[in-house]
Structure 1
Amino acid sequence: MIKRTKSIIALSVICATPTLYAQEAGRIQAGQFDLIPSFSSSMAYVDNVANARDNQSKIYSWRTTLSPELIAATEVDGNPVQVGYRLERGVYFSSSNDDYTDHFVEASGDFELNSRHRISALAQYEDGHEDRGTGFSIGSGLEITTPDTYKSSNLSAEYSYGAATTDGMLTFKARRQTLDYDRTEDAYIIRDRAKNMIGAEFGYQIGAATSMVVDVTKTFVKYDEQLDLVTRDNDETRVLVGVVWESTAATTGFAKVGYKEKDFDNEARGTFYGTDWEVGIDWQPVSYSTVRISTSADTFETNGEGDFIRGQNYSVRWNHDWLERVSTSFSVTQQNDEYVFNELDIVNRDDELMNYSAALNYQARRWLKFSTFYQYTDRDSNRDTIGYDRSEVGLTVEVTL
């Protein structure tokens, strides 16, 4: 899944009727449901719409986005349940071929059966797009006329056993993800796939605010069609061990490291063995300032070349409240992607993607927020046909009830 937060959801206008009335700030009561509408819009100048390579002509354009959202929340026997929808419409003033309309649907629920047993579930569906020059079309944004579109889904569930007063907690988890491009050319059909994951995580408290965790997952990747290619179907095994801590010396975070194996069904693609990790730390030196540091390493399915992608991510983000209504955020992210080929006569492709962003936020009213932002993206590669840079500067407006 590509936009994955627990509140992707939306509608542009709510028409009040006698049965609908404002229950509290940001909510409308409709029978057993609380409706939570919101709307955001942005205007930005983009200096490389199609992510053209460094030696190609670029498309410059203003872009506006409109994103209404609606969440319907309720409780079932005291357990929170919500469902929602979000629409995002993007319009480029000087490049109408890049206009897009994305749809997102999500439903989630958390159920506490008793003091020891809990279940959570999440379902997501996306009818989305990839900007030209991203995803499958990296390095060839000008060679296609419109953004690639796709359908994707994510179904996941977790069952946890253990009381809050006990030292140990065991969680079983399952997830299914699918990706299906709308285009029917062979180059797209061979990317359509499904991933089924099962796993378990055991946490044991070893200190007042620290727990040790062991996280084991098994993932089965199946492609819909491979035509005349050697199949990319594979099984992944991942074992991570680490710690989770809270409110220790103004920090909260987790750190896990372990083993990853990616075994292809066809021996011609071989088997990958490597080290994976997940680290996330929030440092809050004062109550109004937070620094978030994260890094991870994992394997991903290829979006074009090679057998798979070996990725490493590093990011730093700083959020600071200067005044009651004024805040800023800054972030730097580095993504290193190695496209791995098992053929001896092909050199692996190495990409480095740097992203820099900054935003100034002003909470004009409880229901109205303005943000100005700047974002710069730079991709370098050992392939001359891949590198590009792109910058955006703009203004976002968010409205709630």
Structure 2
Amino acid sequence: MKFTASSLAAAVSAALCANAWAIEPQSVKLSDGLTFTPTLEVSERYDDNFRAVEDGEESSWITGITPTFVLGALGRKSEYALSYSAASDIFHSSHDDDNTDHHLNADAGFEFDARNRLKLNAGYDKVEETASLDQNVENDKYTTSNLGGVYTYGAESSRAQVDFGANYEELRYQNSDHLNADKERDTTALSSTFYYRVAPKTRALVEARHTEYDYVSNDRLNSNNIALLGGLTWDATAKTSGTVKIGGEKKRFDDSSIDDKSGSLWEVGASWKPRTYSTFNLKTRRALDEGDNGASSIQSQSSTLSWEHEWLERLTSDVSYTYSDQEYQDIDRDDKIDTFGLGLTYEMRRWLDVGVGYKYSENDSSAPNESYQRNIYSLSFTASL
């Protein structure tokens, strides 16, 4: 099977900014198999608590400007995508918080023959967050860099397939006076997933994972996670598609003074399309995440239900609700976060979308001074060639 132009288009589309999903970008053909796709999002939003704090809330109008550039290349048995975006935020009531986030990603896919395929990814992100645990001192400023890939053995039409994955990631902070230095770490993740077809469009799976966390200075939190999951994945049918993985995980710390942690683990993503113009999506996850604010780890559980509906040929709405429960381990803190989102997108032209949105977040925390409420109102324009 050869790579197709549509598969490259999917890679390009995934690289574009999240709010540009309705437009149909026009690519510039640089040469045979080589394309360049630019997009631009300009937004104006009002955030009534952009530091996400309980007391002393600060509000501001924020202008966002995000250009995105994607360079795609397509070969007979390979495909490549290089994307870069710069998300600039201008805080009209607090120019000291003006910042630009940079995101660079490179993807490559190879099909050596019908049974052997390889996908590679490398990424670099430089981010500044106004809503952070250290907002009373300095915004969190950090970079992440990663390199990984997945090798697949088995033809797509065969009864059995196996994936072997590996990923390495570095997290580094650029705050002054060594602020957040205790969070800096290197993460090495290995995984293997075995698939077995039990129906024409349904496969059972078993997945094993091993993740090593190596902290640069905070050796106390060095640990490794081992997880085993089983489940099902089914391709798009007339109405549904999705993947369900359920299992357990155990976290072992190198420091014997910290008790090992264990618990159930699940990842579910499913879509239901009762009509061609209406889609319901469910995502839910439970896992042990890395600790923060003095916690050895965080038992996280979140569920998101969203509904996308095309009311008219060019008018689409998106409604979502997320509930998150974060239990901080070895300290007395439990955050329960509700987030509600509502968006409306009008495709004014093939190359221009206009969107309006509203987002409400509320954190009910058991820790003092950690609860908050936050409202964000937005208007955006997304354009392409």
TM-score (norm 1): 0.88
Within the alignment, does 1:335 sit opposite 2:334 as a pair? no
Q: Is the 8 A contact 1:375 1:391 kept in 2?
A: yes
Summarize deviations over 1:186-232 as a string: whole Å, max 9, x none.
45111000110111000000112211000111010000002xxx610
Tell me which residue corresponds to 1:18.
none
What residue number does 2:20 align with?
A: none
Which one of 253, 257, 266 corresponds to residue 277 of structure 1? Answer: 266
1:171 is aligned to 163
Asked if residue 183 in structure 1 is aligned to residue 172 in structure 2, the reply is no
User: Given the superposition, is the C-alpha separation of residues 168 and 256 from structure 1 closer, same or farther in structure 2, using an over 3 Å criterion?
Assistant: same
Q: Deviations 1:305-353 (Å, cap 9, x if unpaired)?
A: 2101110011100000011100000000111111101xxxxx5310011
Counterpart of 2:30?
30
The corresponding residue for 1:302 is 291
SS at match of 1:185: helix
CA-CA distance at 1:166 after TM superposition: 1.1
Quote how far apart the aligned CAs of 1:8 are.
5.1
Aligned residue in 2 for 1:326: 315
Q: Which amino acid aligns with 1:52?
A: V
Give the alignment of 1:157-168 within 5 angstroms.
Answer: 157-168=149-160
Residues 248 and 84 from structure 1, CA distance in 2 versus in 1: closer, same or farther, beyond 3 angstroms?
closer
Give the partner amino acid of 2:231: G
The question of whether the paired residues in 1 share the 8 Å contact of 2:106 and 2:123 is answered with yes
Whole-angstrom CA distance in 2 between matches of 1:52 and 1:215: 39
The runs of 4+ residues in structure 1 deviating greater than 6 Å are none
Q: 2:199 corresponds to which residue?
A: 207
| DSSP 3-state at the match of 2:257 | helix
Report the AA paired with residue 117 of structure 2: R
Answer whether contact 2:16 2:39 (CA < 8 A) is retained.
Answer: no
Aligned residues of 2:25 and 2:37 also touching (Cα < 8 A): no
Alpha-carbon separation, structure 2, partners of 1:165 and 1:263: 39
Matched to 2:339, the amino acid is N
Deviation at 1:25, TM superposition (A): 6.0
| Range moving further from structure 2, 212-221 or 70-79 | 70-79
1:8 and 1:104 in contact (8 A); partners too: no
* Cα separation, partners in 2 of 1:117 and 1:167, compared to 1, 3 Å: same
Match of 1:59 in 2: 58
Paired residue type of 1:163: A
Residues in 2 aligned to 1:250 and 1:29: alpha-carbon distance in whole angstroms: 36
User: What are the superposed Cα offsets for residues 172-199 of structure 1, whole Å, 9 maximum, x if unpaired?
Assistant: 0001111101025345111000110111
- Describe the SS at the equivalent of 1:269: coil
Report what 2:339 is aligned to. Answer: 355
Q: Contact 2:340 / 2:361 at 8 angstroms: preserved in 1?
A: yes
Identity %: 27
Q: Does 1:196 align with 2:196?
A: no
Q: Does 1:245 align with 2:234?
A: yes
SS in structure 2 opposite 1:113?
strand
Q: Indicate if the aligned counterparts of 1:191 and 1:223 stay in contact, CA closer than 8 A.
A: yes
Give distance in 2, aligned partners of 1:348 and 1:177: 30
**Alignment-mate amino acid for residue 320 of structure 1:** H
Please state how far the C-alpha of 1:273 moved relative to its aligned partner: 1.5
Query: Where does residue 389 of structure 1 map in the other structure?
Result: 373
* Distance in 2 separating the partners of 1:324 and 1:8: 22
1:247 deviates by 4.0
Q: Does structure 1 residue 400 correspond to structure 2 residue 352?
A: no
- 2:57 counterpart letter in structure 1: K
Distance 2:306 2:41 in 1: 23
CA deviation string 1:48-86 (max 9, x = no partner)? 122221xx2221211000000100001234421011110
Distance 2:294 2:122 in 1: 30
Instruction: Mark the CA change 1:302 to 1:263 in structure 2 (over 3 Å): closer, same or farther.
Output: same
2:214 pairs with 1:222: yes
Residue equivalent to 1:259 = 248
Following the alignment from structure 1 to structure 2, what is the Cα–Cα distance between the partners of residues 315 and 165? Answer: 32
Mapped pair 1:150 → 2:142: yes
Aligned-residue offset at 1:377: 0.8
- Equivalent residue number for residue 4 of structure 2: none
Which secondary structure state, in structure 1, belongs to the residue aligned with residue 96 of structure 2? helix
Q: Give the gaps of 5 or more residues in structure 2.
A: 1-12, 18-23
Q: What residue identity is the alignment partner of 1:31?
A: S
Determine the structure 2 residue equivalent to 1:15.
Answer: none
- Where 2:119 maps in the other structure, the secondary structure is strand
RMSD: 1.8
Q: Structure 1: how far apart are the matches of 2:351 and 2:114? A: 37
Q: Alpha carbons of 1:290 and 1:86: their partners in 2 closer, same or farther (altered >3 Å)?
A: same
Give the 3-state SS of the residue equivalent to 2:341 in structure 1: strand
